Amino acid sequence: MPDGRTKRMVSLLAYVARNKGTITYSEFADIIGGIARGVGKLLTNELAPHCRSEGLPNLWALVVNAKTGMSTDPDVTQADLDACYTFDWNVTQDQRAN
């Protein structure tokens, strides 16, 4: 079961994905809590494993550098963004499991 912070991260990034946008590390940190420099570790250590275990797209791809507009994760591709944007966010986790 994800903790409250993981649920908030998924909820925030699902909102960003439904609106076909991105969010900067600083904006993400302001909303979720913490500092922008610590966001990468949070995404890698908490969000990524949750997304993988729950069959969600790579939501961390939506968190970008303010200057470049790109993820600092070298493995993030346009396909990751597209997967976030086309994912059916209206289906609950329970419905996906069935």
C-alpha 43/C-alpha 23 separation (Å) is: 13
Domain ranges of the chain: 4-87
The structure's pTM equals: 0.87
Q: What local confidence, expressed as pLDDT, does residue 44 receive?
A: 85
First to last CA, the chain: 17
Backbone angles phi, psi at 23, to 5 degrees: -140, 140
C-alpha 55/C-alpha 35 separation (Å) is: 28
Q: What local confidence, expressed as pLDDT, does residue 84 receive?
A: 97
Whether 78 has a pLDDT exceeding 50, the answer reads yes
pLDDT single digits (tens) 13-72: 999 999 999 999 999 999 988 777 778 788 888 899 999 999 999 999 999 999 999 998
